[in-house]
Amino acid sequence: MTKIKTFENLDLHNKKVLLRVDFNVPLESNKNTNTITDDWRIQSSLPTINLLLEKKARIIICTHIGRPKGKYSKDLTIGPIADHLSQLLKTKVHQANDSIGTDVEILVDQLQESSILILQNIRFYIDEDKNSIPFSKKLAKPYDIFINDAFGVAHRENSSTVGVTQFLPSYGGLLMKQEIEVLNHLTKSAPSPRTAIIGGAKIADKLLLLKNIAKSVENLIVGGAMAQPIINFLEGVSNIDNTLDKQIDVLLKLIHSHNTKLILPKDFLITEQISEFSKTRLINMNDLPKDWQIVDIGPKSISQIQGIIDKSSTIFWNGPMGIFEIKKYSKGTSQIAKTLAKANNKLTVLGGGSTVQAVRNEGLDDKFSHISTGGGAFLKFLEGQTLPAIIPITE
Ligand code: 3PG
């Protein structure tokens, strides 16, 4: 079981702490100003920042924003995040124009205890993406200790998540610790019956997740359009992609060998053309006409899933049940979100960009036991893969 080394018991008074966070938040560009449209990831690292402030550390925050691939982009600079963090903490957050070098070293030296400096977007350096060792050494140079709270980027082997740990004593932050603890618990020790609800459009993107999660749950619900290739396979209808059939065969055998119950949608909402104004039809699971597309699960599937949720003690959810961004296709996703939000005596965990978005659209994000801040990192962890940034901060 992965156990994160945390900084909670360290004396950090006046220590120069490099804190890696994932403040990769959505930004909207309007009349030359960039506004944060969702600050949830910033909010999620506030407990770590507040504890460091309490400990009277000198806090130097490092994050990436977007994927500038080593090039400066004025739409991806740190300014809006620094301003927003200042407002949240009600304290000035100083800004650096760079992430390494003499100017940064001067600012770090001038920083008082319980003060914060935020570095420029680390991905303006391509060496960050390459996990370059000389760059990591330069990045680490001004600091006494490194704390990684950036679970969302823990699947990337970058200088600021991995390389820097070669040069500094390294620990995990409170968010990192919580994410790892919850996800470990979810698959290993959470109360049974455990149910996983996995949705999305393409089964190929979720095969590894399905295989790994099937080992640790009693009920595996597959929803959304990605259920169709499994239904085809079970009915002896070949999927266009022959390798997919082989992979589904392996998956089904694995599910069977673990005595896991596979639940597929009983009905679907379908359309010929995806649009807010399109005509839709409800069909049973095996009646999909040629040239029609699945855009949601139907009412029988919704009540079947609700019944299973009702009888489960632990529920894990990743992937929407349909194209929830279009209102008339959003019922399946929205009903699952509402049912889980009411299940407050159960362990409810969800993650993945669009699933989190769906729940936040419904204003239900405070109603779950845990919502992961990771997209790719969350999926890779639950696929059973090792996240490179976790290794150096593991006990
Ligand atoms: C995310 O948004 O999932 C993380 O910030 C990682 O971003 P990346 O996929 O650009 O590395």
d(CA 136, CA 320): 38
Any ligand 1 atom below 6 A from CB of 352: no
- State which amino acid sits at residue 197: I
Neighbour count for residue 71 (Cβ, 10 Å): 10
Protein residue closest via CA to atom 3 of ligand 1: 375
152 CA to centre of ligand 1 in angstroms: 6
| 67 within ligand 1 shell (Cβ under 6 A) | yes
Quick one: pLDDT at residue 301?
Answer: 98
> Ligand 1, atom 9: nearest CA belongs to which residue?
376
Cis status, amide bond into 193, omega within 30 of 0: yes
CB neighbour list of residue 47: distance below 8 Å, 6 or more residues apart: 174, 175
pLDDT number for residue 325: 94
What's the confidence (pLDDT) of residue 297?
A: 97
Q: How far is the CA of 364 from the centre of ligand 1 (A)?
A: 23
Ligand 1 atom nearest 152 alpha carbon: 4
Ligand 1 atom at minimal distance to the Cα of residue 375: 3
Q: 22 CB under 6 A from ligand 1? A: yes
Single-letter amino acid code for the residue at 281: R
DSSP 392: G
pLDDT at residue number 92:
97
Atom of ligand 1 nearest to the CA of 66: 10
Taken as a whole, the chain contains a residue count of 395
Residue nearest to atom 11 of ligand 1 (CA): 153
At 125 the pLDDT is 98
Is the distance from the beta carbon of residue 376 to the nearest atom of ligand 1 less than 6 Å? yes
CATH tag, 190-382? 3.40.50.1260
**Considering the domain 16-175 in this protein, what is its CATH number?**
3.40.50.1260
**What is the structure's pLDDT at 239?**
82
The CA dihedral of 124, 161, 178, 117, to the nearest 10 degrees, is: -50
Which uninterrupted H or E stretch holds 139? helix 133-140
Judge whether 16-175 and 190-382 match in fold.
Answer: yes
Instruction: Output the residue whose Cα is nearest ligand 1's atom 8.
Output: 153
Residue pLDDT tens, the chain, 395 long: 789 999 999 999 999 999 999 999 999 888 778 899 999 999 999 999 999 999 999 999 999 999 999 999 999 999 999 999 999 999 999 999 999 999 999 999 999 999 999 999 999 999 999 999 999 999 999 999 999 999 999 999 999 999 999 999 999 999 999 999 999 999 889 999 999 999 999 999 999 999 999 999 999 999 999 999 999 999 888 887 778 999 999 999 999 999 999 999 999 999 999 999 999 999 998 888 888 999 999 999 999 999 999 999 999 999 999 999 999 999 999 999 999 999 989 999 999 989 999 999 899 999 999 999 999 999 999 999 999 999 999 99
What is the position in ligand 1's atom list of the atom closest to the CA of 374? 3
Alpha-carbon distance 128 to 130, whole Å? 5
pLDDT for 97: 97
Residue 193 CB–ligand 1 contact under 6 Å: no
The confidence score (pLDDT) of residue 286 equals: 83
Atom of ligand 1 minimally distant from the CA of 353: 3
Place of tokens 């029609």: 292
Beta bridge partners of 118: 61, 95
Distances in Å between the Cα of 16 and the Cα atoms of 53, 211, 253 are 12, 43, 53
Asked whether 24 lines ligand 1 (CB < 6 A), one says: yes
How far is the C-alpha of 18 from the C-alpha of 139, rounded, in Å?
9
In angstroms, the CA 245 to CA 79 distance is 49
Mutate to test the pocket of ligand 1, among 67, 153, 157 (most ligand atoms within 8 A of CB): 153
Give Cα 124 to chain centroid, integer Å. 23
Residue spans per domain, the chain: 16-175, 190-382
pLDDT of res. 291: 87
For residue 231, how far is its CA from the centre of ligand 1 (angstroms)? 33
